[in-house]
Structure 1
Amino acid sequence: MAKIVCLKEKGNRERRCGLLPVNVKSYILLGADVIVESGLGESIFITDEEYTNAGATVLSNRAEILAQADVILSVDKLPVEDVAHAKGKTVISFLDPFNSHDYVDLLCQHQVTSLSVEMIPRSTRCQKMDALSSQASLAGYVMVTKAIAELSSILPMMMTAAGTIKPAKVFIIGAGVAGLQAIATAKRLGAAVTAFDTRSVVAEQVRSLGAKFLDIDLGETGQTAQGYAQALNESQIAKQQAAQAQCIAQSDIVITTAQLFGRKPPVLINHDTIKLMKAGSVIVDMAAESGGNVAGSVSGETTIIEGVKVIGTGNWPSEVALNASQMYANNLLNLVSEFWGKDTKCFSIDLDDDIQKSAVITHQGNITNKTISDLRTQAMEQAS
C-alpha cells in the first residue's frame, strides 16, 4: 500500500496543518496507509489519539516518517534539512516556485517530485482543489478583523441616547477572492464599504455585496486567462494612486489585496497619501510579505506611519487555523483523489494532464513546469 504522510509544520507562525482525522479515513478508503508526525494538530487542539482513532499511525521521528513515505503533505514547503530524506518521493504543498529557485534546484538534485498548490489552474474542474482561493477567502475575513482590533472606533452606525455614531468607512483595493470576502465581512459588520479593482468586470460583484465601486478609467487593463489582474504600467499605477487618494484619505480602514501572481506587487499607497489619512486610521497590506502595496509597510509587523497603523503581519489564514486547515486538507484530499489509481492504489504522475502540467514543478530530477523552467534559465543567465 502507498503511504501518505503529513508532517508538523516547523514555522513558528504557522498553525495550520494539511491533514485532519476525518481526512485520514478518506485516504484509507482510497487504499492508502496514513502516517502523521506526533503533534501535527496540537495548534488546533487535535490530539495524536484522534489521529490514531481515525486509523493513522503516529510517529515522532521525522526521518523515519519520510523514509516510509510515498506522498508527503504539508502547508509550507518541506524544510531544506528534510529534502534529502524525501528522495524519490512526491511532495505537495505551497511551494512559491517563482521565488524559490535554489530550493527548486535542491528538489531536482534529490529527485523529488513536487506539486505546488499555488499553480493549480483556476477552472471548474479544479475548484475543489484550489487551495490558493480557499485560503485567500479566509485571509479576506481575517484582514478585516485585524483592522477592527487596531481601530479605536466601531464599524456600524449606532443611534443612541448619547448621540449617533456614523458608520466607519472602509476602502478595499482589489476585488479578487480575498477582496470580495473582505467586502462581505466589512458590510456584515455595518461599515460603509467602497472597493476598486483594475478589472471592471468585477464591478457588479462588488455592488452585489452592497459596496460602492470606485470607477477609475485606467484604459486597457483586463485579466489573465486564470482570472488574475494584469500588471499595470507605470502611468496607469500613477493614475490609480492619484484617483484613489481622496477615497483613502476619507477612510477609517484601507485594505490592499493587490498581489500579482509570480511578480512583485505594485505600490498603490505612497507616503504622501498616508499623510492625508486621519491619525488612528488603519491600513492592512495583504502583500507585505512579498514586497508590499503600501510604502513603508514591514513584513510580519504592525508599524505606525504618520499616525496611521499599517498592518503587514501576513500569513492571515493561520489566524483562523482550524477552518483554514479544514479547507486546505480537503483541497489536498481532492487533489490526491483526482490522480489516485483505483487499481494501483497510488498517486500517479501524468504530465499530459492540464492540472499536473501546471502544478508539477519538478519530476525525475528536472523542472517540468515550463514557466518556472524559463524563469530559472533567465535567472542563471543574469547571474553569469
Structure 2
Amino acid sequence: MTVLFVPKERAPGERRVAATPDAVRRLAGDVEVVLEAGAGQQAGTSDDDYVEAGAKIHDGPAPPDGTDVVVRVAPPTLDEVGRLPEGVTLLSLIAPHRNQDSVRALAQRRVTTVAMELVPRISRAQAMDALSSQASIAGYRAVIVAAHEAAKLFPLFMTAAGTIRPANVVVLGAGVAGLQAVATARRLGAVVYVSDIREAAREEVASLGGKFIEVPDAEDLTGEGGYAKEAGDDFLARQRAVLTEHLSSAHAVITTAQIPGRKAPELITAAMVEAMQPGSVVIDLAAADGGNCALTDAGGVVEHQGVRIIPGQHLPSDMAPEASALYARNIAAFLGLLLDDHGALHLDLDDEVVAGALLTHDGEVTHPPTATLLGGDA
C-alpha cells in the first residue's frame, strides 16, 4: 500500500492543510495516510479527527521511513526539500518561477514533483485544478475584505433620511477569481465594472450582471489554455487611460490579472491610485507575483493619499477549512492518476494531465518553461 505523508505547513500566513479527514476516507484502501502532529490544527481539524478517519499521526516534520508520496500546500523551502527522501513523489503548489532554487534541489534529490498549478485546464482535469479551486475562494474573500475596508456601503440604501447610491466596484481580470468577485459584489448590491483582454470574458461578465469595460481598438488576447496573453505597451497605455476614468469613481478595486510563470502585469500605476477617492481600497490578488498595482507590497497594507492597497495572496488561507477541503479533493483526484488498481504508484507519462503537471522527474526538470528559466533544457 502506498504511504502518503502530510507535513504541517510552516510558510508565514499559511493555514491550509493538504489533506482533510474526508480525503483520508476517500483514499482508504489504496493509501495509508500519515500526518505530522498538528498538521490540520490551523484549518480547524484535530489529530483525533484524522485518527478517527483512519490516518496515523507522526511526530516531526521529516517523512517517516517508507513514505512514497508527500503532499503539501505551500512551495517547499530548501530545508523542507532537504527533508524529503530521495526519489519520493511530491504533490504541491510550487510557483517554480519564484522558487528556482527549490526546483533545482528537487531535481537533485530525484524527487518526482507534481506542481499543482501546472495541471492542464482541460475538462478531464477539472477535479484536479487547484488554481481554480483556490482562486474561487480568493475572489469571494477579496470582495468581503473590500466591503469591510471601504468607506462606502455596497448596496443601495433607501431610508427615511435619504437614499445612498450603491458602491462602484472595478474588477480587473475575469478569470475564476475575477468572476467570483463579480458574483459576490453583485450579491452585495454593488455596481460592478470589469476589464479583461479576452473577448470570451465579455459574455461571462454580462451573465453575472457586470458591465464590461471597453478599450478602444482592443484585440482579443486569449492565450493558450484560456489564459490571457501578455499585452503590448500600446494596448496597456490605452487600457490605463480607460481604467483611470473608472477608478476615479470606484470605491473598491479587485485585481486578479496574472500570466503563468511570469511577473504579474502592472495595470494600476501610482498616478491611477492618486485619481481614486479617499476611503477606497485596492485588493491585489496578484501580490505574490509582483502585483497588478505599482504600489502593492506583498508584506503588508500600503496607504497612499487615502487609498488602501491590500495584498491578497493569503486570502484563501483566511478561509482555511473550506480552502483545505477543496485543495485536498484536488490532491485526491490527482492521486487517482498515479495509483494502479492495486494502490501502487505508477507514473504514466503518456497521460497528458500527468505529463503537463510534472515539474521534476528522474533528476531532471521536465517542465520546458521552467527548464529554460533555469538555463537548461527539459
Q: Could you say which TM-score interval applies, normalised by the shorter chain?
A: over 0.9
The letter for the 1-side match of 2:227 is Y
The letter for the 2-side match of 1:288 is A
Instruction: Indicate whether 1:124 and 2:126 are aligned.
Output: no
Helix, strand or coil for the counterpart of 2:34? strand
> 5+ residue gaps in structure 2?
none
Q: Is the 8 A contact 2:286 2:312 kept in 1?
A: no
Q: Residue 82 of structure 1: CA displacement?
A: 2.9
Q: Residue 313 of structure 1: CA displacement?
A: 4.3
Flag the 1:337–1:54 CA change in 2: closer, same or farther, 3 A. same
Cα deviation, 1:168-187, whole Å, max 9, x if unaligned, reads: 11011110000000000000
> 5+ residue gaps in structure 1?
380-384
Q: What is the RMSD of the two structures over their aligned residues, measured on CA atoms?
A: 1.4
In 2, distance between residues paired with 1:375 and 1:305? 35
Instruction: Indicate whether 1:350 and 2:345 are aligned.
Output: no
The letter for the 2-side match of 1:10 is R
Instruction: Indicate whether 1:315 and 2:314 are aligned.
Output: yes
Between the two proteins, the alignment pairs up a number of residues equal to 376
Please identify, of 145-154 and 162-171, the stretch whose mean Cα deviation from structure 2 is larger.
145-154
Q: Residue 341 of structure 1: CA displacement?
A: 0.4
Q: Residue 217 of structure 1: CA displacement?
A: 3.0
The letter for the 2-side match of 1:19 is A
Flag the 1:82–1:293 CA change in 2: closer, same or farther, 3 A. closer
Q: Is the 8 A contact 2:172 2:196 kept in 1?
A: yes
Q: Is the 8 A contact 2:77 2:102 kept in 1?
A: no
Q: Pick the structure with more helix per residue.
A: 1
Cα deviation, 1:200-223, whole Å, max 9, x if unaligned, reads: 211011011011111113433321
- Paired position in structure 1 for 2:214: 215
Q: Is the 8 A contact 2:107 2:361 kept in 1?
A: yes
Q: Is the 8 A contact 1:301 1:313 kept in 2?
A: no
- Paired position in structure 1 for 2:185: 186
- Paired position in structure 2 for 1:369: 367
Q: Residue 196 of structure 1: CA displacement?
A: 1.1
Helix, strand or coil for the counterpart of 1:167? coil
Helix, strand or coil for the counterpart of 2:51? helix
The letter for the 1-side match of 2:242 is A
The letter for the 1-side match of 2:321 is L
The letter for the 2-side match of 1:221 is D
Instruction: Indicate whether 1:150 and 2:149 are aligned.
Output: yes
Cα deviation, 1:22-47, whole Å, max 9, x if unaligned, reads: 11111123x22111111011112211
Q: Is the 8 A contact 1:266 1:293 kept in 2?
A: yes
Q: Residue 283 of structure 1: CA displacement?
A: 1.0
The letter for the 2-side match of 1:119 is L
Q: Is the 8 A contact 2:78 2:101 kept in 1?
A: no
In 2, distance between residues paired with 1:39 and 1:126? 31
Instruction: Indicate whether 1:135 and 2:134 are aligned.
Output: yes
In 2, distance between residues paired with 1:205 and 1:72? 37
Q: Residue 78 of structure 1: CA displacement?
A: 2.7
The letter for the 2-side match of 1:5 is F
- Paired position in structure 2 for 1:259: 258
- Paired position in structure 2 for 1:248: 247
Mapping for residues 202-241 of structure 1, pairs under 5 Å: 202-241=201-240
Q: Residue 98 of structure 1: CA displacement?
A: 2.0
- Paired position in structure 2 for 1:382: none
- Paired position in structure 1 for 2:27: 27
The letter for the 1-side match of 2:100 is H
- Paired position in structure 2 for 1:98: 97
- Paired position in structure 2 for 1:18: 18
- Paired position in structure 2 for 1:288: 287
In 1, distance between residues paired with 2:254 and 2:376? 34
- Paired position in structure 2 for 1:165: 164
In 2, distance between residues paired with 1:28 and 1:118? 26
Flag the 1:66–1:359 CA change in 2: closer, same or farther, 3 A. farther
Q: Is the 8 A contact 2:266 2:292 kept in 1?
A: yes
Q: Residue 103 of structure 1: CA displacement?
A: 1.1
- Paired position in structure 2 for 1:85: 83
Q: TM-score, normalised by structure 2?
A: 0.96
Q: Residue 282 of structure 1: CA displacement?
A: 0.8
Q: Is the 8 A contact 1:288 1:297 kept in 2?
A: yes
Q: Is the 8 A contact 2:302 2:310 kept in 1?
A: yes
Q: Is the 8 A contact 2:199 2:222 kept in 1?
A: no
Q: Is the 8 A contact 2:194 2:212 kept in 1?
A: yes
Q: Is the 8 A contact 2:58 2:64 kept in 1?
A: no
Q: Is the 8 A contact 1:341 1:348 kept in 2?
A: yes
Cα deviation, 1:323-358, whole Å, max 9, x if unaligned, reads: 100100000000001221013x22221222211211
Q: Residue 66 of structure 1: CA displacement?
A: 4.1
Cα deviation, 1:81-136, whole Å, max 9, x if unaligned, reads: 23233211000000111222221111111111111000000000000000000000
Helix, strand or coil for the counterpart of 1:3? strand
